[in-house]
Structure 1
Amino acid sequence: MRTVFVAGPFFKLVDPETGAMRPQDRERFELLIGYFEDSGCEVHNAHRRERWGEAFLEPDDFTKLDHDEIAASDVLVAVPGPPASLGTHIELGWASALGKPIVLLLEKDEDYALMVYGLRHITRTAIVETIGGRFDRAAFEDALSAVCAP
């Protein structure tokens, strides 16, 4: 695994008063990005690219960019919510259609679209349970190994 796309809720996590993601929401994605970069991976992520909400791109720009980055990635790591992210669900569709492996970070006791669970029938998919956005690192690494194994 050399290239990772990290996806998750964005627009709904931006504080309308500050125009940026709240620190606790931003931290969840910074930890994931840091984990992969510390492992020598290239990371694609819209949150960071768009300066955590301070520099949103237009749909005509970010839609193709996200698609192309997912197509170029070895794996998609996705937080589909909460809050539920329609954009992340579209990215999951692209990744599965492209046959990309997926690791889902799903918050315990949250409801998700049932199709999220069915992705394993389309492409290699693993689920890691999170609590408050946190997850067991060993479980995460096992999930990555399972979906990225040849």
Structure 2
Amino acid sequence: MTTTPKPRTAPAVGSVFLGGPFRQLVDPRTGVMSSGDQNVFSRLIEHFESRGTTVYNAHRREAWGAEFLSPAEATRLDHDEIKAADVFVAFPGVPASPGTHVEIGWASGMGKPMVLLLERDEDYAFLVTGLESQANVEILRFSGTEEIVERLDGAVARVLGRAGEPTVIG
């Protein structure tokens, strides 16, 4: 008698905050992000939403740059949404996105499980690549969006599996 393997299920995640560079990706001529940059974020949003996950994302909320909120409102909403999210997933940016780095700090300070998406051949600040020693972080190095999608559920499952465990420092 053979048994059929169970299909792989995605981790149960109620909500995700998806962050990454924004203002630096907005084309000053069009006032919005390029379709290529939009597609990267859209692909990840669709990935999570297809699993029933609520996705908080400033890029989509602010119409890819066409409807920027005031700095105070954007800051308040990002902070509140990171606080509400079960997992924080972000591209730190190349070059570094100052806003995303602030969000990484907030998520770390809040004790949020995090998945940081780093381009495979790029250099990042030591305080980003070393954050695994201080917080519940999975660093996912990638070469393309589909590689992220293929490996994202595993990375999220690992940080959620460690949630609540004490972080060993030093």
**Could you list the runs of 4 or more consecutive aligned residues of structure 1 that deviate by over 4 angstroms after TM superposition?**
none
> Could you say what secondary structure the match of 1:137 adopts?
helix
Tell me the number of residue pairs that the alignment of Structure 1 and Structure 2 aligns.
150
Question: 1:107–1:133: 8 Å Cα contact kept in structure 2?
Answer: no
TM-score, scaled relative to structure 2: 0.84
- Name the structure 2 match of 1:88: 100
Per mean C-alpha deviation after superposition, the further-off stretch among 134-143 and 38-47 is: 134-143
Partner of residue 44, structure 1: 56
Distance 2:108 2:18 in 1: 15
Unpaired segments ≥5 residues, structure 2: 1-12, 164-170
Name the CA distance, whole Å, in 1 between partners of 2:132 and 2:98.
19
Deviations 1:33-70 (A, max 9, x none): 00110000000000000000000011111101100100
- The answer to whether the 8 Å contact 1:106/1:128 transfers is yes
Identity rate, percent: 51
Aligned to 2:3: none
Alpha-carbon offset, residue 134 of structure 1:
4.3
User: Which residue identity does 2:116 align to in structure 1?
Assistant: L
In structure 2, which of residues 39, 62, 85 is the aligned counterpart of residue 73 of structure 1?
Answer: 85
> Contact 1:128–1:135 at 8 Å: present in 2 too?
no
Higher strand proportion: 1
Partner of 1:114: 126
Q: Secondary structure at the match of 2:158?
A: helix
Computed over aligned residues only, the root mean square deviation of the Cα atoms, in angstroms, reads 1.2
Superposed, which structure 2 residues align to 1:130-145 within 5 Å? 130-145=142-157
- Give the conservation status (yes or no) of the 8 Å contact 1:4–1:74: yes
Contact 2:47 2:149 (8 Å CA) reproduced: no
What pairs up with 1:3-22 in 2 under 5 angstroms?
Answer: 3-22=15-34
Q: Deviations over 1:53-94 (max 9, x none)?
A: 000011111101100100000000000112320000000000
TM (norm. structure 1) is 0.95
| C-alpha separation in 2, matches of 1:80 and 1:133 | 15
Q: 5+ residue gaps in structure 1? A: none
In the TM superposition, residue 136 of structure 1 has moved relative to its aligned partner by 4.6
